[in-house]
Structure 1
Amino acid sequence: MFTRCHGGWGGYLFSVIKLLLNPGVFIHLWDVRLKDLPRSLYYLNIASIMYGIVIMLLKTAILLEWARIFVPRGFRDIFWWTCHITIMINVLFYVSFTFIQIFPCVPRQRHWNPTIPGTCLDVAKVNIVAACINFVSDLGILLLPQIVIWSLSVSSSKKLAIGSMFAMGLFACLAAGFRLVNAATYVTSANILYRSSDMGLWCNVEMVCGFTIVCLPATGKLMKESPWIRKIISSF
């Protein structure tokens, strides 16, 4: 699943690179040639699709990892069920969101080429709803392990140390919050390419935080068992 996340992120970055090459990021709509606009909107659509897929897989990987860490194998407690129910809710939401991003218009090509006759959903308003749900989801996933950690029978200093490791999700929540603000601005703005650059930036930050959260639990073991890392640390 983690490998699939990398593949989806690669697709997202590919779309961003195509936009960087032409017309660029943080470019005003009126500075883009009319013939280049469909191409820009097409890669924006691809990036939106990839974002939904990557975030869904990352949140699934994070919750499965936390269920494995905090729940003994073969045991099913409230935390385990909460993780798996949250996974199911997230999957249903992100699959629906991705489907809307793939088929926002009839015909589909109208989404990036407004000159084609057809009808479209109000994708900007869909993005606001999606950003709200995404923010709440990030916040819930951030708080979930903290409840377990602070109920452990260990010293407060150890609880703080363990809790801080899992608090990386705070940065993901901040990124999701900024994305929500930009999604709200996007609805009322005619300068869609510039506002999309804002949203794309925070989407990328959120994904990077997700990858970091997945990797953090293994960091301690890596530092402990890797000879060259121990050598670097001992040199200080």
Structure 2
Amino acid sequence: MNSSLLEQPGLDPPPGVIPDFVHTGGYHNFGYGLIISTSIISTVAVLARLVSSIGMRKLLIEDLLLVAALGVFSGIQYITYDLSIYPGFWTHQWNVQNGFLPHFLYNVHLGAVFYGPASLLIKISILVNWLRIFVPKNTRGPTFWILHTLIWTNVVFYFITTVTEIVRCYPREKIWNPFYEGGVCTININDQNIATSIINFISDSTILAAPQWVIWKLQMSRARKWGISLLFVIGIGAWVFGVVRLAYFIKLLWSNDATFIFSGVALWTILEVTTGFLIMGIPAFPRAAKMLPMSDSIASFFQSLWSRSGLSKTQISIPQWQFYKPKSRRRRGLWEITDLETHDMLSVATTNVNSNTTQVHTTTGGNESDDAIKTHDDPARTQIV
């Protein structure tokens, strides 16, 4: 191959623009900050989930799936780090040389390969967790079949799209090397990516809506339903990020300025995946905070500071969270949702024929007394307080 061709700009610049291969105009610090912040958030979310499960002496399959997803996500982060070093985020393709394009397109290919398994592992983790929460054992209701359909549909969908991305060209170098002569690509990648993006959008929308139907059928006050329902609102963030990623991805398929548009794909992909970790991690934060080794000492330290300052409890109230160890059994507020309620929110009603009364108990092992449950002769009046 002619070496002079590799030294030319990767794209013809607009009139009057001179390509600069040294100062590309890319944003390097933006990429570093994105990688560091999202890596910390994702890791903390997964650790909170693990600590919470270990505290309950029950490591669940969804926890292991999250750990695997975090490992795959590190591959996406590495690609973003490489992009941040050179040429930087939002760099126009005329500011890089043709010789750089195979390296760049190889990272794009790796990003597409990593995205499928990462998204699959997170979605399956969420769906398995919701299956545990919303479907009582040994039941086969509509929710059971909806969640199982989503689980296996996503497994098949992401398996097919990941495999086809890997083997779409032969030899595989043709995938990322635009200057490779010969070979054949048997799959129309543009059509596949458009279909993949649309199916992914439908899947995200269904997963977001699925728990709401169940939550609003639970026997509890409307205010409590809003509190639990809004706990899943963070899923809307993942859905929005996925939609924006879809827009950038489709634009990437038809744009010649690939280095610039791919920055948008990378940004919104990372935000979408990170939000997925938060969906599973946030409910575990209360129990994880309670299990911190120094939680009691820290709480006592702040209480002693308030005492020495001369402020009475009527002047300044002790924070209600207090590492999630309430001292009184008062009615919890709308936003005081415990880890127990978010891991195993569904109450299973069993009928005692002799007494004609309904008893409600949570499916989680132990700590039933932590969540006060009132029962009445009328099942419709059952409340969780």
Match in the other structure for 1:129? 195
- Following the alignment from structure 2 to structure 1, what is the Cα–Cα distance between the partners of residues 159 and 165? 10
Residue number in structure 2 paired with 1:118: 183
Aligned residues: 236
* Residue in structure 2 matching 1:206, options 257, 272, 275: 272
Residues of 2 paired with 1:194 and 1:124: CA distance?
18
Cα distance, 1:59 vs structure 2: 0.3
Aligned to 1:170: 236
Cα distance in 2 between the residues matched to 1:192 and 1:183: 10
CA spacing shift, 1:146–1:202, aligned 2, 3 Å = same
Cα-Cα RMSD: 2.1
Please list every run of 5 or more consecutive structure 1 residues that lacks an aligned counterpart in the other structure: none
2:91 aligned with 1:27: yes
**Residue type at the aligned position of 1:209:** T
Deviation at 1:152, TM superposition (A): 1.1
1:179 deviates by 1.3
CA distance in 1, matches of 2:91, 2:318: 48
Following TM superposition, by how much is the alpha carbon of 1:224 offset from its aligned partner in structure 2, in angstroms? 4.8
- The aligned amino acid for 2:221 is S
| Correspondence 1:27-176 to 2 at 5 A | 27-116=91-180, 117-120=182-185, 121-176=187-242
Of structures 1 and 2, the one scoring higher in RCO (CA 8 A, sep 6+) is: 1
- In the aligned structure 2, how far is the partner of 1:124 from the partner of 1:24? 25
Report if aligned partners of 1:125, 1:187 keep a CA contact under 8 Å in 2: no
1:234 positional shift: 4.5
Deviates most, 189-198 or 216-225: 216-225
Alpha-carbon distance in structure 1 between the residues aligned to 2:144 and 2:283? 18
Q: Which has the greater radius of gyration?
A: 2
Q: CA offsets per residue over residues 184-219 of structure 1, 9 Å max, x none? A: 222321111211111111111110111011113323
- Deviation larger for 191-200 or 60-69: 191-200
| 1:67–1:80 Cα contact (<8 Å) kept | yes
Cα deviation for residue 32 of structure 1 reads 1.1
Does 2:292 align with 1:228? no
- Using the alignment, how far apart are the partners of 2:100 and 2:280 within structure 1? 38
Structure 1: distance between partners of 2:268 and 2:318: 36
- Match of 2:255, as an amino acid? S
CA distance in 1, matches of 2:67, 2:222: 36
1:6 aligns with 2:73: no
TM-aligned CA distance change 1:74 to 1:234, over 3 Å: farther
Identity %: 32
- Where 1:27 maps in the other structure, the secondary structure is coil
Equivalent AA in structure 2 for residue 149 of structure 1: I
Structure 2 length normalisation: TM-score?
Answer: 0.58
Contact 1:124 1:186 in 2 (8 A): no
Q: How far 1:123 sits from its partner (Å)?
A: 2.3
Q: Distance in 2 between matches of 1:107 and 1:209?
A: 36
TM-score (norm 1): 0.92
C-alpha separation in 2, matches of 1:11 and 1:180: 20
Amino acid at match of 1:64: V
Secondary structure, counterpart of 1:73 in structure 2:
coil
Cα pair 1:149 1:162 within 8 Å, conserved = yes
Distance verdict in 2 for CA 1:124–1:31, change over 3 Å: farther
Q: Distance in 1 between matches of 2:188 and 2:248?
A: 16
Query: d(CA) in 1 for partners of 2:257 and 2:133?
Result: 46
